[in-house]
Structure 1
């Protein structure tokens, strides 16, 4: 939603009478030693791993952002937590957002001062050029308002006249390609898409949007607040036979994870670039009958996105309807009810950034319940992020094929669980319940994750 408007030289030989075979042996031994060293410094594992267990790097690789001059930090300690279309007009604006855990601005009003942002240790990706920016933003949701096509673009945006020429044609590819040519050289380009990519377009059409224009991509589906998203032509698309979704099927945090997975599925080669997630903070639709997102829903939506591979979070920070209309939900009174939760979530993301940027260990965890899980290997330990997808309460047993350890710490909840034979049990209250576990005593897989 685009509102508001506006590598070593060959080994030297000191003896010349070494036979060719000996030379080969020495060089081979050196190569193998070097290879072993490199492997042990990344994700060493016990070989073989249990059947079905694989180690998967985060999309793009941990150092992805370091490829771009003046880009976002490549440090494992950085996880992007952005806010959409804010204004930064005074030095005091950025500390307000940083206090809520925001470290990035995705789009800014034209009168914003990027110097204030950088001085405060944050970053910016606007749709206009600045030597201080860490990226360049393409047009938002061009998959929807311009469509999957290469017709001529008039230069107009919705509401300002005919967009494509001829008028009934589609020109979204032209829009993005034109804007790419306006981006500074070597700048990281970011674009967000919408229901075209996630619901309406073919794999080939959506894939062209996702792969051809930007180095970071996201899609926004506001499952908790969109009055239309439960329809057969929208959210119902996720079903084998599209139909209108019930509220219990539609208004679920796990659907934010679905959107991330849907977008990641179009990326080719698989895992080639980071996919970020969008989560709304208020009442982003004008309809009074539309829901307003709650604090538990925000927390659950964020963690569902991360479970499913999101490498960044962008918050939609505007309320266009409901009881409190605002362009700055995290700053003003309209955000009072959700700000403590959003702040706590963002603080936990910052604390766990090295974990979140570490490899996934797929297939290592099995569960007895209806939950989504992501297992991360970091510093010799397993971390498990688990989110319920069931409306009602449930007791869930989680088993690790090479679990190790004798206990599990539930992070942020001041409690621990016994682990017996690689298994432990916990309860989930509802579909917004999320628990993050650290397996104490390492893991029997031998995956360091460093």
Structure 2
């Protein structure tokens, strides 16, 4: 997640399409029920809809002994990680209060005992950790942005060597790597993408489109197109034909779900269903100068929700900004640490927003960790449909950075006439199998609960 400038590659014409009316989508085929799925009470008999391809939700982590010991395979657990933590006893309390449960990296002197007492997970080996059974290190971060730092064959050889070294049979832990946004563009072939993704269990991409100017590719002042591929099917949940990362909406929260869509296509191309994590900036990686923008707390939360709506299986928060005053007007090595030490620090408001979102998300983990149904609720909606304990849950945003009123058509089998807007202390009537709600701006998201 090092700060860098990408290369420009101009691809083919951009194409956008939308589903004109609510209904099941034939383009996303039904997937056989996987082990344990039939035990979800009533979902198969009530909603006769296709299901999204998935890796198994929280049960996926049970294949890794160290993650299992740490409770990652509980339905109530959803990974909300911090890329680089300050990692001391005071910070553990603060970070947990803000919904962080995992550290990708920490200071080299970080001790196992402190992390264990705080019940924090890591993707690195702290000092004094037992070789097995420590319930702290659940996975291993193999490397970061290898696709942007090596030639392809050299990078693949490097990753494959690390994969052999940290194979689950040796460590009991899953492996994780983060890639640059270039791995989803015309800068790289799909074969290169799949080869890199095959080297680890969990993949993610950092492309901080709320903050950086790199999605606005121009030549002599004229827009020349998006460097990102165009996804064929958006998220498999909403069933919408894939929307490109476009000039008009690239710097909105909607782009983060599109990044997950593009990674789902890499998974489909390699025939795998490994978890994808959404990577999100807490503060701008370049401040508010030289074309960079400082995202608001509302934008940060909305971008993370859009990743989840598009089937992200975890979140990685990046809370750093360069330490050169002429590059960033909000310098930070760890915005969480700064917010604890100085509540008036430049990133404190966004850290608070991240905490609010993490707790909201974790309160819904038992729902999110179920397998989604494929259903289009109607034009202009970006949605994910779940069923949990006799109720349908609709995670929703306006599509493509839009806003305004949207009408949702409920699928057959959802018969409730009262729609609860989760966490907002309000309800909506469902009439004629539809309900309507308003999305004030690009950052608005709602979660609806309707009895079956």
TM range (shorter): 0.7 to 0.9
Task: Report the 3-state secondary structure (helix = DSSP H, G, I; strand = E; otherwise coil) of the residue aligned with 2:156.
Answer: helix
Find the aligned partners of 2:426 and 2:103 in 1 and give their Cα distance. Answer: 35
RMSD: 2.8
Report the Cα distance in structure 1 between the residues aligned to 2:246 and 2:37, rounded to whole angstroms: 47
Contact 2:230 2:245 in 1 (8 A): no
Alignment pair present for 1:205 and 2:158: no
Superposition pairs of residues 389-428 of structure 1, within 5 angstroms: 389=399, 391=401, 393-402=403-412, 403-428=414-439
- Separation in structure 2 between the aligned mates of residue 362 and residue 317 of structure 1, nearest angstrom: 34
Q: Which aligned pairs between 1:20-419 and structure 2 lie closer than 5 A? A: 41-42=39-40, 44-45=42-43, 50=48, 53-56=49-52, 58-71=54-67, 72=70, 73-88=72-87, 90-126=88-124, 130-131=129-130, 132-149=136-153, 171-183=154-166, 184-199=170-185, 200-211=187-198, 213-231=199-217, 235-238=226-229, 245-246=246-247, 248-268=248-268, 270=271, 272-285=273-286, 288-289=289-290, 290-320=292-322, 321-332=327-338, 333-363=345-375, 365-368=376-379, 370-389=380-399, 391=401, 393-402=403-412, 403-419=414-430
Cα drift, residue 322 of structure 1? 3.1
3-state SS, counterpart of residue 92 of structure 2: helix
Query: What TM-score results when the alignment is normalised by the length of structure 1?
Result: 0.78
Q: Would you say the 8 A contact 1:60–1:271 is kept in 2?
A: no
Shift of 1:401: 2.0
Structure 2 distance, partners of 1:239, 1:3, is: 24
Report deviation, 1:84. 0.4
Question: 1:228, 1:234 within 8 Å by CA — same for their partners in 2?
Answer: no
- Show structure 1 runs of 5+ residues with no match: 5-34, 150-170, 444-450
Work out the CA distance in 2 between the residues paired with 1:239 and 1:125.
Answer: 32
Give the TM-score, by structure 2 length. Answer: 0.78
Structure showing greater Rg: 1
How many angstroms apart in 2 are the aligned matches of 1:311 and 1:324? Answer: 30
Cα distance per residue 1:384-403 (max 9 Å; x no partner): 11112355541110011222
CA-to-aligned-CA distance 1:150-175 (integer Å, 9 cap, x gap): xxxxxxxxxxxxxxxxxxxxx11011
2:341 is matched with none
CA positional deviation for 1:39: 7.0
Distance, in Å, in 1 between the alignment partners of 2:358 and 2:152 is 35
Query: What residue is the counterpart of 2:234 in the other structure?
Result: none
SS of aligned partner of 2:171:
coil
Partners of 1:135 and 1:188 within 8 A in 2: yes
Secondary structure of the structure 1 residue equivalent to 2:144 = coil
1:13 counterpart residue number? none
1:147: Cα distance to partner? Answer: 3.5
Deviations 1:54-98 (A, max 9, x none): 12364344311111122151000000000002231x322211111
Q: Any idea what SS the aligned residue of 2:147 has?
A: helix
CA–CA distance in 1 between the matches of 2:142 and 2:251?
29
Match of 1:23 in 2: none
Q: How far apart, CA to CA, are the structure 1 residues paired with 2:448 and 2:393?
A: 5
- Pair 201,323 (structure 1): closer, same or farther in 2 beyond 3 Å: same
